[in-house]
Amino acid sequence: MNIGPMNIGPIDIDPALKALAAALHGEGPAVELSVSDDGGLVVGHVETPGCDDAVVVVRTSGSTGTPKATILTVEALAASSMATAFALKGEGQWLLALPVQYVAGVQVLVRSLFAGTRPWVMDMSQGFTPEAFTAAALELTDKLRYTSLVPTQLQRLLEDPSPETLAALRRFNGILLGGAPASAKLLDAAREAGVRVFTTYGSAETSGGCIYDGYPLEGSAVRIAEDGHILLGGDTIAAGYLDAPEQTADVFFEEDGVRWYRTSDLGSLDADGRLTILGRADDVIITGGVKVSAAHVQEELEKSDGVTAAFVAGVPSAEWGQAVAAYVALSPGFAAGTPAAAGGDAAPGGDPAVVLEQEWHRTLGLLAPKTVFTAPELLMLPNGKPDRLAMTGRLNSLHQGK
């Protein structure tokens, strides 16, 4: 997986650490990190009128539209850092293996500053590889070691891992896994390998993950709105969006002294207060008058042997209104890179992609995707999240061309 042009060789994070430290101490303006065309780290400074305690402005991923500039304050970042240390049972040294300009990367630097440790930067000049990750992990010297990954990265690390990579993964006291849903298959593989993984849920608007393994961190809260949307509240919630008061008012609100953020996701809480994410509110596909959860179909597809990840979307259909379509990543050894029409006869030689589609028609029936594109990997944004817009566009073109 290549999660974008992060740097040419390990980036120099010292200017970023210095600027963030000054902002955290109230001695400098808010910081915005970006990456130049040649891969260098750019440390910018941003005015945040009306928010004197702003530390950093983080652009959202833009996975579903135009990125927004989220303002994070001293209080929010301090609360997030302390709650994370409490959940992980200690502060320690962090490995930066994600782009530094997004919230997960920024938090590696911020947590390191609060802990008084120096983060190590993985060499991403050749993209994310198990060899580069292993080499970087072995450079960590603190007794407590942590990193943040996205599911696609962990999937690659656990695909036929070398003994050295397995040993490096097991050295971490905690690996935060976020940015996208992690399949049960991947989590089972991590547990079987002896890797300590914490699934996280959150966003730039919540200073990163504020739900670990389904439960809110100390100082955070979660509830479900009447329309099913997940509401996240507490000390880690952002001040709002830069120069966007209407967008801020749409999703942030105060209630009984608690600040809340209304997500775009649907969810449910069990009797113990554990959160289950049901998918995005705009992921409900209405096909032939039937409502289909894209998240449910994705989960079912990912149970199949040979499938490492899947993305499901609705595409316009003259016959059905919308049709279920899937962009599917297949493990090495499976035929990939070519479109396949759902429901077709098995190809000569038993094309694994066609065999999978026949399996889905047996197990999912009417919910099975009518258009499937297989590839070695999902399309990803620079921050490691699935590029929903690009994959939906490709599936739409494929479906209309059938």
Give 320-365 as a DSSP string: TEEEEEEEEEE-TTS--SSEEETTPPPPTT--HHHHHHHHHHHHHG
Q: Could you give the maximum distance between any two Cα atoms of the chain, in Å?
A: 68
Q: What token pair was written down for 307?
A: 């499938």
C-alpha triplet 21, 25, 29: angle, nearest 5°: 75
DSSP 112-176: HHHHT---EE---BTBS-HHHHHHHHTT--SSSEEEEE-HHHHHHHHSS--HHHHHHHHH-SEEE
Q: How far apart are CA 209 and CA 236, in angstroms?
A: 9
Paired strand residues for 31:
45, 56
Number of neighbours of residue 50 by Cβ within 10 angstroms: 9
Q: What is the pLDDT of residue 286?
A: 86
B/e letters for 180-215, b = 16+ CB within 10 Å, e = fewer, are bbbbebbbebbeebebebbbbbbbbbbbbbbbbebe
CA 336-337-339 angle, to 5 degrees, is 100
Dist. CA 142–CA 94, nearest whole Å:
9
For position 347, what pLDDT does the model report? 40
Residues 354-388, buried b or exposed e (16+ Cβ, 10 A)? bbbbeebbeebeebbbbbbbbbebbbbbbbbbbbb
The H-or-E segment that residue 86 falls in is: helix 74-88
CB 252 within 8 A of CB 237: yes
Are 323 and 399 in contact, with CB atoms under 8 Å apart? Answer: yes
Collapsing DSSP to helix, strand or coil, 215 comes out as strand
Cα–Cα distance for residue pair 215/273, rounded to 1 Å: 7
Return the pLDDT at 293.
Answer: 87
At 175 the pLDDT is 98
Kindly report the three-state secondary structure assignment for every residue of 252-304: EEEECCEEEEEEEEEEEECCCCCEEEEEEHHHEEEECCEEEEHHHHHHHHCCC
Of 204, 173, 180, nearest to 70 (Cα)? 204
Q: Map tokens 């304050």 to a residue.
A: 73
Report residue 50 as tokens: 């009306």
pLDDT at 238: 98
pLDDT 10s per residue in the chain (402 long)?
A: 333 333 334 688 999 999 999 999 999 899 999 988 777 899 999 999 989 999 999 988 665 557 799 999 999 999 999 999 999 999 999 999 998 999 999 999 999 999 999 999 998 888 889 999 999 999 999 999 999 999 989 999 999 899 999 999 999 999 999 988 888 889 999 999 999 999 999 999 999 999 999 999 999 999 999 999 999 999 999 999 999 999 999 999 999 999 999 999 999 999 999 999 988 888 888 887 788 888 889 989 998 888 989 999 999 988 878 899 999 998 876 654 444 444 333 344 456 667 788 889 888 888 899 899 999 889 988 877 889 889 999 999 988 866
